[in-house]
Structure 1
């Protein structure tokens, strides 16, 4: 949701193959570490296999003092050769929004405190899909001593991601705040509710319609706050069922607001409060598609309706917690928002026309160098953050 944050976007995890040397004299750090959710392997539009998961690190004892995380090595257990090393700028790119490294490129975890690392791992082509990933974490104490945590297993869920159709009809679309971007308000939006820590929007995408030159809005970039809804290329576009399914929840009648209009913050973590006008479609047991920010009066279905793939559910709007007209879409394991886990998905067919940044898409003066109708055909893959798609 949201769909408009800062112009531009950060590069996610620098997952090189360099490894840090193991210091056999390092002490064990008093850190409890675990994964939020077992990840699935998903094929990206970049033709790579990706794993997205989160490590929660708890500096357990009040007496420990501050621990500085300096790096993480990731292994395909039981191999001792790292798949990737996360440190420096890579560590900075794996932190939720608003969390920054210290001057020495380490992450401070205060005594009794915790940290969350969002890991976007590209699996090398020459290895089989691992069943378990293990991790070696290195810390510095306040006295400069090195401490480590070895192990931290993360089990891979071998269930293939669900394949869906396009959520919109035709045209060019910019995938904003999308998969692979830890600084997005989607993946970085961890929810602690009723004894659970979940990430409903782990793989969410905000789709902005683009004109033939790759621009989301016709207004000058310094006057976006004065733009009209009709200045936005995707406004009122048809929103489609991505698969056969049953409507489990919906809302209509929430007024459309002006682009970039200030939104009152809410602590009510429900679709009714967050999504504006929406549809939630169950397309398989415990697999739900959430469509948010639909145009007022456009929702064409009701609870219990059975719909077919490609059927019109509503039209793209600017309602709820949205910054400008766009379609927010994500899949999860619950009809609810809080307490649900975001699930990966792959779209069966689209053309990858190019890549860009939010700033470029919002700047009517930018040159996106696009060739509509001449994109790279992509099949059974997840669009990634910054992709420009043609359905």
Structure 2
């Protein structure tokens, strides 16, 4: 476990831990190992906090196995993405211990017992809204091990990190729950101005200093094929972007911004709620949205994604990706709930109240 998990309260009022187990089979002669079960224990407890069977593990592992196939680990490595929801009213563990059983190619059982890790002592950072008002789908968000955020490992000089562990793609929607404005007949031929979130104000989530920024990159037509990024860096992925240092060693990154809207320079000081730029579709992006993340380094590569809590937001329940385009059952919002000091979970619709 290369990165210690931090406890964070999600928009479901539960406390969650998100972390990864890097599982490597050293010996070729053991043949493929088939994980049967993973148990996670708090401290020295004898009763597991959580138990994941072989079917669960197939949905938690990258590279993912074929559909309906079990996970197998050849000589090499697979990563198990653990989303652990702690029992209500239980004390926060100090450490986690893992017990994993495997079947060998000769149907023998191998046992891994240990892999202890202490929880991070750093509390999640409390931040303000990155956008001004409106409704937003927190797409590809925390808790989704199959998202292109959490599931993307970045290897640089032998160091493997996950910069986007808690990243959000904030997609603007209207009261119908759709991403394009009423009256647009063909989404495939839509213009940027047809998209609800396009041009929205992007705001500083906290006081900070601009550590990196870029403008001048062109926008792409919505929903058109994208070329492979030139590199797994901010310059290769983010298009027009801003990176703020909001605490020592804590960096807020905003990506896919509108060309001509980034007026900041490296070294500029900003205040919480200050306008940074406007939302667009520059960089590696298939549609207008804001990519937002906190990480442990100014650069994308070599950084670890950090958890965060929005100081306040409104929660309107989940929405499926197909419903964004008016497909399937119409989206029906749940009764609005005001949330404080929580992190939106994957595919939840949220709103940011007007700034005071």
Query: Is it true that 1:48 corresponds to 2:14 in the alignment?
Result: yes
* Aligned partner of residue 82 in structure 1, secondary structure: coil
Gapped regions of structure 1 (runs ≥ 5): 1-34
Indicate how the Cα distance of structure 1 residues 146 and 384 shifts in structure 2: closer, same or farther if over 3 A, else same.
same
* Aligned partner of residue 339 in structure 2, secondary structure: strand
Partner of 2:65: 100
Gapped regions of structure 2 (runs ≥ 5): none
**Shift of residue 362, structure 1, vs aligned partner:** 2.7
Partner of 2:292: 329
**Residues 147-184 of structure 1: CA deviation (Å, up to 9, x unaligned):** 11111112201211000000000110000000000000
Partner of 2:73: 109
Partner of 1:128: 91
* Aligned partner of residue 63 in structure 1, secondary structure: helix
Residue in structure 1 matching 2:173, options 199, 202, 210: 210
Query: Is it true that 1:140 corresponds to 2:103 in the alignment?
Result: yes
**Shift of residue 220, structure 1, vs aligned partner:** 9.1
Matched-pair contact (CA < 8 Å) for 2:139–2:169: yes
Partner of 2:264: 301
Partner of 2:350: 389
Query: Is it true that 1:272 corresponds to 2:239 in the alignment?
Result: no
Indicate how the Cα distance of structure 1 residues 102 and 238 shifts in structure 2: closer, same or farther if over 3 A, else same.
closer
Show the 5 A alignment for 1:60-79: 60-79=26-45
Matched-pair contact (CA < 8 Å) for 1:136–1:150: yes
Give aligned pairs, total: 352
**Residues 258-314 of structure 1: CA deviation (Å, up to 9, x unaligned):** 101221102512111210000000100010000000011111311111010000000
Matched-pair contact (CA < 8 Å) for 1:42–1:161: yes
Distance 2:71 2:182 in 1: 40
Matched-pair contact (CA < 8 Å) for 1:75–1:134: yes
Q: Over aligned residue pairs, what C-alpha RMSD do you find?
A: 1.7
Moved over 6 A (4+): 219-222
Of the structure 1 ranges 262-271 and 157-166, higher mean CA displacement relative to structure 2 is found in 262-271
TM-score calculated relative to the size of structure 1: 0.87
Indicate how the Cα distance of structure 1 residues 313 and 183 shifts in structure 2: closer, same or farther if over 3 A, else same.
same
Partner of 1:233: 196
**Residues 225-279 of structure 1: CA deviation (Å, up to 9, x unaligned):** 2111111100000000000000011000101111012211025121112100000
**Shift of residue 92, structure 1, vs aligned partner:** 2.6
Partner of 1:157: 120
Distance 1:77 1:338 in 2: 33
Matched-pair contact (CA < 8 Å) for 1:204–1:328: yes
TM-score calculated relative to the size of structure 2: 0.95
**Shift of residue 219, structure 1, vs aligned partner:** 7.5
Matched-pair contact (CA < 8 Å) for 2:184–2:190: no
Indicate how the Cα distance of structure 1 residues 279 and 102 shifts in structure 2: closer, same or farther if over 3 A, else same.
closer
Residue in structure 2 matching 1:378, options 336, 339, 344: 339
Matched-pair contact (CA < 8 Å) for 1:257–1:319: yes
Matched-pair contact (CA < 8 Å) for 2:55–2:70: no
* Aligned partner of residue 297 in structure 1, secondary structure: coil
Matched-pair contact (CA < 8 Å) for 2:22–2:80: yes
